[in-house]
A and B are shown apart, each in its own frame.
Chain A
Amino acid sequence: MEPEEIIATAGNGLPPEVGCEADHRGVMLRVPPEHWLAALAFARERLDCDFFDWLTAVDEVDQGFSVVVHVYSLAGRHHVLLATPLPRSSPRLPTATGIYRGAAWHERETHEMFGIGFDGHPHLAPLLLPDGFEGHPLRKDFALAARAAKEWPGAKEPGERGVPGEPGERGAPGERGVPRARRRGPPHVPDGWGPA
């Protein structure tokens, strides 16, 4: 199927709330959450996309999350992306495992990494993270513990020796330390983090 044909088929068979767009990367169907399963079933049956490639999420920050699925047609060699927006507070979606069984693993991973619930999933247990891990590490607001434990090598000023921020370490011999502008922190680390 050519992209135009996919879009024509999707436009006829899917509810009008589903947005269809195509660019050089292929066809993207933007689906409201309430039509999610219907759109997946449509992709499998009518668009002949019988191969489930992957499912994941994107943290859109202010716009919540997007869950994205990529499916492919082995016979027609065409592929389709489907995406649905979810609110940031209590993001939930019905499971796609009834349509694509292979989605089970991907939904477990997405649940673990983004904290998105998949209602009806047969076994939504933690998958990859260590036992007792707290938080959802692929959310944009998740700060890495390794960043808090390690001293930022970029904290030193040019010509500064020893521990950054300690007085008397900077300046020519026999001279008082030079007053400097506000000390910069490492990017993407919350204020107040770091070794004491």
Chain B
Amino acid sequence: MGAGVTAGTPADGLPARSRGVIALLEENCTVCMLCARECPDWCIYIESHQEPVPGAEYGGAGDPARAPAGRGRQRVRNVLDRFAIDFSLCMYCGICVEACPYDALFWSPEFSYAETDIAALTHEQGRLREWMWTVPPPPAHDQGQRPPQD
């Protein structure tokens, strides 16, 4: 049997935009919940809470555009507590990656994360963040394609 009979194995290199695993850039996540709501498999779990933003109270003194002092609410921001993707349910449709308005989800070509325990296929925040290091740079634009807008 000659070498190289089977073509297209991962050893030959993966195609561009391969869908191996989904990585989370948690710094970009605003807990908008859009990915969890769009996911057809219900496999994205998000926990969060709200924290006050210091020095950003409504109704601050000397600002006539704001509500009268004492009547405004404390401004808050969402803080991510848990972000997990259950890859035993995920069907790799990529809708979450498309839906994310804040560029927090990315495709990585890494595929070798088989487990003997199905529960271990739920990748928590830290593991999803680690996959970010394997995300390739975006492919070059095709010739004649509209230049990037940002």
Contact = CB atoms under 8 A, between A and B. Distances in A.
A163 to B, nearest CB: 11
- Categorize the interface residue count of chain A: 10 to 19
Contact of A159 (B36, B43, B48): B48
B33 A171 contact: no
B130 interface: no
- Categorize the interface residue count of chain B: 20 to 34
A172 interface: yes
A interface SS class: loop
Contacts of B39: 153-154
B41 to A, nearest CB: 10
A173 B32 CA distance: 20
B78 A158 contact: yes
B46 A153 contact: yes
Give the interface centre of B31, B38, B45, B49 by most chain A CB atoms within 10 Å.
B49
A175 interface: yes
Interface in B15-35: 30-33
B46 A156 contact: yes
B49 A159 contact: yes
Contacts of A157: 33
B73 A158 contact: no
A175 B42 contact: no
B31 A159 contact: yes
A19 interface: no
Contact of B50 (A154, A159, A184, A186): A159
B48 A161 contact: yes
A84 B33 CA distance: 43
B81 A161 contact: yes
A152 interface: yes
A172 B50 contact: yes
Contact of A154 (B37, B52, B81): B37
Given A154-B36, A156-B36, A158-B31, 17 more contacts: A147-B42, A152-B42, A153-B39, A154-B33, A156-B46, A156-B47, A157-B33, A158-B78, A159-B49, A159-B50, A159-B76, A160-B48, A161-B47, A161-B49, A172-B74, A175-B73, A186-B42
The 8 closest A-B pairs by CB, nearest first: A154-B37, A159-B50, A159-B78, A154-B36, A172-B76, A158-B31, A153-B36, A161-B49
Interface of B: 30-33, 36-39, 42-52, 73-74, 76, 78-79, 81
